[in-house]
Chain A
Amino acid sequence: MLKRSWIGYATAVGAAAACTAIGWAMHPRFDLVNVAMVYLLAVVLVALEFERGPAIVASVLSVAAFDYFFVPPKGAFTVDDLQYLLTFAIMVAVALVISRLVVSIRREAAAKAALAIEAETERIRSALLASISHDLRTPLAVMAGASSSLAQGGDRLNAEERDALANSVFKQAQEMSEHVAKILQMTRLETGAIELDRDWVALPEIVSSVLSRLTERLARNRVIVELPPEIPLVRVDASLIEQALANLLENAANHTPPGTVVRLRAQQRDDEVVVTVEDYGDGLSDRDVERVFDKFHRGSIESGSGLGLGLAICRSIVRLHGGRAWAERVSGGGTAFHFSLPLEQSPSVPAEPAAG
């Protein structure tokens, strides 16, 4: 802000100087009134672009320069013809009027922007309600239906049907539990209710643990893991980072065709570790690449399930750790989702005597 007002004053001085030069060139052939018009134009432009201060400076300097260089007697701040006083007054008045107009227009624009933010918040809130009611009602409906069929069907159902109904109650309950956990997690992250429980963690262990937890979800994809053998330990909240990685993998499983490869990588880059989940789905549009980590963003092509919270949770967790999360398109279709974690100096582990 300070910098911008400094530029304003510099522009005001520059504009007055430039007008004097132009006026000097015009002077013998053009009437003095036209030279005054050039100064007026500069004052208007400065007033439009900057605050009131630079506009007044521009008008005062213009008046002074015009008086000194052009109004007889030249080379002095005195005025022979009193009508030029009116010219001076008008120049200052124009600067004041225009800068006042500009200020009020800016205020109006700011108010409109605030309204737009409010509307966006409202849109997100209703998107939340819509997704909650859809993603929680569906499993509830299945559970109510399947369990009441079990309760009432009794012996009339054969063993296979009973198994199928019972299993679908279990499956839907698990899914709903995941949804509820995500909503709670997002709320806790947003309200700052989470305190990081940092400890030294081996990323390969987090990867192993996520892969085993998501075996079923990832069954339709081929997961290729590429971890360099000497990847350093990171000091993070292991459970949260596991959650962040799980969300990236779930996202890949939800948005790629069965049978495609999902690549999971971690690399050290300078003083951070970058974890990448790369899929070969349909890829994202430019807009989606920018916004895919936003809350409730589900992509322009509606596909699969999910609240649109997984990636937002991932980003919040990573930011809490001082890292970043971002997406980029992979040539040949597909998307790479990355997150980075800052590295700290790993503590040493005492070596054992070589002999066993």
Chain B
Amino acid sequence: MAPRPTILVVEDEPEIRRFLRAAFGVEGYRTVESASGRRGSIDAGTHKPDLAIVDLALPDIDGVEVIRRIREWSSMPIIVLSARVQEHAKIEALDAGANDYVTKPFGIGELLARVRAALRQAVRPATGTLRLTFGDTVVDLDQRTARRGGEDVHLTPVEFRLLAALAKNAGLVVTHKQLLTEVWGPTHERDTHYLRVYMKQLREKLESDPIRPRHLLTETGVGYRLMLDD
């Protein structure tokens, strides 16, 4: 295993920083804390963390602005902490380059799962054979083949492209806009109904119980998430 990953926490509430520091310590992560957005943008440059956690409601500059500043020079994974009433800010943050979000109040288990998925995604090589396994399904994105329970499953080219777009960020949320732009092109970034139709087809072909999917998950109002087997 690589040296201890460093996590930057940009959060103005000291009590929240306190329990994050404790929980990350238990997991073997090193924590760098910034109490403001400006400080956080600078700390991201000087400490070069492996991942950043950014609260959306910061006292000085907007969390979304912090994400934009980091994205100018870095592709480090960013997880956003948002309150329930910030639905729009959350989507804005994801479209600005954040990789995932957790809604306050959250259990630490949920956040740690996101952190693990984001760190794993960051070290995965960008090229090479992309073989996805989840449940009893195996998809080879290079060969364009899919098998479920030993049987060949026919996926259409669009279904493959959609699956590939989700797989690129496996374990993390991908917004409607990101998926639509990637699969259908920027002129279709608002055609959410395309996604509804194709996600339904993918679930029917690849999930054992499409109404209780375990891998092709809906993030209501935000996007979709592909959960692979660990």
Contact = CB atoms under 8 A, between A and B. Distances in A.
Nearest to B85: A184
On chain B, which size bracket covers the interface? 20 to 34
On chain A, which size bracket covers the interface? 20 to 34
Interface in B83-98: 84-85, 87-88
A237 B196 CA distance: 14
Given A197-B87, A200-B193, A233-B193, A242 B220 contact: yes
B211 A204 contact: yes
Q: Is the interface of A mostly helix, strand, loop or mixed?
A: helix
Contacts of A238: 220-221
Contacts of B217: 208-209, 212
A352 B107 CA distance: 43
Nearest to A226: B211
B32 interface: no
A211 B220 contact: no
Interface in A331-345: none
Interface string B164-197: 0000000000001000000000000001111011
A209 B200 contact: no
A177 interface: yes
Given A204-B210, A239-B220, A239-B221, A356 B193 contact: no
Interface string A191-232: 000000101111011111101100000000000010100000
A206 B200 contact: no
A121 interface: no
A349 B84 contact: no
Contacts of A97: none
A181 B213 contact: no
A347 B191 CA distance: 9
A174 interface: yes
Contacts of A356: 144, 154-157
Nearest to A346: B193
A173 interface: yes
Given A177-B105, A205-B218, A238-B220, A227 B154 contact: no
A256 B144 CA distance: 48
B213 A349 contact: no
B199 A205 contact: yes
A233 B105 contact: no
Given A197-B87, A208-B211, A352-B158, A202 B200 contact: yes
B212 A212 contact: yes
Contact of A208 (B85, B107, B194, B218): B218
A144 B154 CA distance: 57
B220 A174 contact: no
Interface string B47-90: 00000000000000000000000000000000000001101100
Interface string B192-230: 111011111000000000111100011111000000000
A202 B84 CA distance: 22
Nearest to B104: A177
B156 A347 contact: no
A24 interface: no
A346 B194 CA distance: 11
A209 B196 contact: no
A208 B200 CA distance: 12
Interface string B28-41: 00000000000000
A170 interface: yes
Nearest to B105: A177
Given A211-B211, A211-B212, A225-B211, 9 more contacts: A173-B105, A197-B221, A202-B196, A204-B200, A233-B193, A238-B221, A239-B221, A347-B193, A356-B144
Interface of A: 170, 173-174, 177, 181, 184, 197, 199-202, 204-209, 211-212, 225, 227, 233, 237-239, 242, 346-347, 349, 352, 356
User: Which A-B residue pairs are the 7 nearest by beta carbons?
Assistant: A200-B193, A239-B221, A202-B196, A205-B218, A238-B221, A349-B197, A209-B218
